A and B are shown apart, each in its own frame.
Chain A
Amino acid sequence: MALSTKKSAAAGQVQKKKKITDANLLLIITIAIFLIMYIGAMIFLGGGFLNAQNLFNILMQQSALIITACGMSLVMITGGIDISVGGVVALVCMSCAVSLDYMNWNVPMSILLALGIGLAYGIVQGFLVAYLEIQPFIISLAGMFFARGMTTIVHTEPFNVQNEAFTALKNTRIIVPGMGNVNRLGNYIDAYINIGVIVALVIVIGLFVMLRWTKLGRSFYAVGGNSQSALMLGINVRRTKFIAHLMCSVLAGIAGYVYFLYVGSGSASHASGMEMDAIASSIIGGTLLTGGVGNIIGTFVGVLSLSTIQNIVSSVGLDEAWWTGITVAAMLCLFLVIQSVITSRKRD
């Protein structure tokens, strides 16, 4: 429901300007494809897709990905990239798990630990990228290696967390009124979400507001669009890039804790490939890797599209694991080609 109002808002804006900009067109295509896909699934597959709980399940599964993808979009809007986020998520999971179970820390301390890891990552990577002008790809590649390696150094074997306060927090369900459904026995079951979803939605809205209406947010676009002109305008390009990387890593730290809340365990193989999913969601959401174009709402819809595809594939019955990867790739390919055709047509 929230999505459709967003769409109409976007459409209203288009009418006001009488001209569809590239960014808006990409966003509209993304939202349209997501809606077509989801409504199509509702009509042809029915079953679970008719329940609101299905959408909430997607949100719960992907809340960590939503947060990392938002961070990724910020960096990509400034023209950079950060592929260390998956590693940071795994590192945060493992460190928090060890701190809770082996060192008897309490939950707030472990949250601080997660934020601390993100902050440390952001400061180091942001400094190297922004002030030493090293390519962000290489730096975050090293960052990813480091995080993955450190995760196994912290603890090698995967294990489930037993800490009581944490399990209570993990199992907290927030009931969404009026969205439940009646099961086969005729009982009404409330629809629910978890804390991670709330965190993710707050972050999405916060970043959307920041990018659209604050000076910092606008300077992100300026730096990504043309850093030379941004410099001429008096924007501190280096500081802006630094802040983008800092925010991305801190968000990865938060995402790590949200992921930890969802899975409740520490493992070196957690969140493997999450950085690529985050990049893919950002791209599907209309963010250009060249910088200057992007939208947090688009990224959010991008994540939803990715996981809806996975959902559809598994409910159609193509349960051999490889079909998920292949369809996601095909979808990514489709979106990239559409984007490319649109942008090149505009250029001509």
Chain B
Amino acid sequence: MQKTNTNKKSVGQMLKNLTRKQIFIPIVALLLLALFNLIMDPSFYQIKFGYNSAGNPVLSGYIITILDNGSELAILAIGMTLVTAATGGQDISVGAAIAIAGSVILRVLCGTEARPAELQAPIIVAFLVACVVSMLFGAFNGILVAQFKIQPMVATLILYTAGRNIAAWINQNQLPIVSDATFGYFGGMIPGIPIPTPVFIAIACIVITALALKFTNLGLYTQSVGINESSSRLNGLNPKFIKFITFVILGLCVAVVGLIKVSRLSTINYSVIAKDIEMDAILAVALGGNALSGGKFNMPASIMGAYTIQFLTTTLYKFKVASEALPAYKAVVVIILVVMSAPIVKERLASLGKKLRAHNAKEVG
């Protein structure tokens, strides 16, 4: 009797510890979604091996689609988490910035021609130029936030308003098309490798971030600035510079996503490319259990959150939800998740559970 009691306690303790872990929220959400799919249609998890029209081996299936399409969101979630942690605000201009990065890449690749027979510059040069431009726009946001102390959401509203217009202006509203096959590798597949390239790019970004967080003070400094700016300044940090640098890092993430996005289509549509992706990226951070008011962050949880959102999107597509109606369903899921993870609701549930337990104990006694 005694033994089972202690056993029970330790299990309860373990559960408690588990639920306290931040990564618990996205994982539970992911598991719920996975379970839902398993019950509705187990063929969701089928992965087929086949050959595409060009005769190259490809893996296909919903899981591959999720990993493929979730890459952009995962990469953005990295930068967004850092910005959120350091500044306590979010960058709502990433979608517009992706449009700019994509437009720059096409401009460098195509020059002034709309459909060049061959590339005007190597892809790597185009990508590097896009990186520099994106980081400059990131720096612009960073200066507004760090130097002028404007709330991040408001400061990035400027680029949000102007971004897609700037992107259209860069190419004079033309829609250049890249016919070179190698350009499609970044968003599609490299012949001979059956897994889509964005998955590898995302993994590379995640590994680099993990290494950076492990071997530099980036994580520690951003968190300390987010938790208490003035005391970190008194401890010898430069909060302005750290806030600034998080926006520049996000700019780098944006350039990578821009490359993937443009490569998927080999062209660009200024008003549609990466539409609403800023909202998804912010949701990924929130779903990861990170406080949107800054401070401590958990990078794996954010990335997990990004893939969870993609899982949800793909699930909805599978059930033939029209792409325009998709946001409504997403919103319902998001509200349920956010309400469940709200501290007040958690407290209420905990106290309710305690009451029930006390009641049970009384009955037993």
Contacts from A to B (Cβ < 8 Å)? 81, 128, 131-135, 137-139, 141-146, 148-150, 152-153, 156, 268, 276, 279-280, 283, 289-290, 320-326, 328-330, 332-333, 336-337, 339-341, 343-344
Contact = CB atoms under 8 A, between A and B. Distances in A.
Given A156-B324, A276-B160, A289 B153 contact: yes
B150 A336 contact: yes
Nearest to B329: A149
A320 B173 contact: yes
Contact of B162 (A142, A325, A336, A344): A325
A276 to B, nearest CB: 6
Contacts of A137: 90, 153, 282, 292
A288 B136 CA distance: 27
Given A132-B342, A149-B331, 7 more contacts: A144-B279, A144-B331, A268-B324, A289-B151, A329-B161, A333-B158, A336-B158
B162 A326 contact: yes
Nearest to B322: A152
A90 to B, nearest CB: 11
A133 B345 CA distance: 9
- Chief secondary structure at chain B's binding surface: helix
B240 interface: no
B332 interface: yes
A242 B166 CA distance: 39
Given A138-B292, A148-B327, A332-B158, A326 B169 contact: yes
Interface string B157-169: 1111110111011
Contact of B331 (A142, A152, A279): A142
B156 to A, nearest CB: 11
Residue picked from B293, B327, B330, B342, most chain A C-beta under 10 Å: B327
Contacts of A141: 279, 282-283, 334
Contact of A134 (B279, B282, B339): B339
Interface in B288-329: 292-293, 322, 324-329
B75 interface: no
B157 A279 contact: yes
B148 interface: yes
Contact of A322 (B144, B168, B328, B335): B168
Contacts of B162: 325-326, 328-330
A259 B328 CA distance: 22
B123 to A, nearest CB: 26
A52 B192 CA distance: 69
B265 interface: no
B133 interface: no
A331 B164 CA distance: 17
B331 to A, nearest CB: 4
A145 B332 CA distance: 9
B169 A149 contact: no
Contacts of B148: 336-337, 340-341, 344
- Chief secondary structure at chain A's binding surface: helix
B149 A344 contact: yes
B328 A145 contact: yes
Nearest to B147: A340
Using C-beta atoms within 8 Å of the partner chain, give the interface range for chain B. Answer: 35 or more
B154 A321 contact: no
Contacts of A146: 327-328, 331-332, 335
B339 A132 contact: yes
A321 B270 CA distance: 12
B150 A325 contact: no
A334 to B, nearest CB: 10
A344 B146 CA distance: 13
A153 B325 contact: yes
A149 B328 contact: yes
Given A145-B328, A276-B157, A329-B159, A128 B293 contact: no
B286 A322 contact: no
Nearest to B164: A325
Nearest to B293: A135
Given A152-B322, A326-B165, A326-B169, A143 B151 contact: no
B344 interface: yes
B338 interface: yes
A146 B279 CA distance: 13
Contact of A149 (B159, B326, B335): B326
10 contacts: A128-B338, A132-B342, A138-B338, A149-B325, A276-B157, A276-B160, A279-B154, A279-B157, A321-B165, A339-B150
B343 interface: yes
B345 A280 contact: no
Nearest to A149: B328
Given A128-B335, A329-B158, A152 B344 contact: no
A168 B155 CA distance: 43
Interface in B3-23: none
A139 B338 contact: yes
Contacts of A344: 148-149
B162 to A, nearest CB: 3
A339 B149 CA distance: 10
Given A133-B344, A145-B327, A321-B168, A340 B149 contact: yes
Residue picked from A81, A131, A149, most chain B C-beta under 10 Å: A149
Nearest to A324: B165
A280 B157 contact: yes
B310 to A, nearest CB: 15
Given A146-B327, A149-B327, A322-B166, A132 B344 contact: yes
A341 B293 CA distance: 24
A133 B168 CA distance: 40
Contact of B328 (A148, A329, A336): A148
A326 B173 CA distance: 14
A100 B166 CA distance: 40
B293 A153 contact: no
Given A149-B327, A290-B151, A128 B283 contact: no
Nearest to A146: B331
Interface in B107-152: 144, 148-151
B165 A325 contact: yes
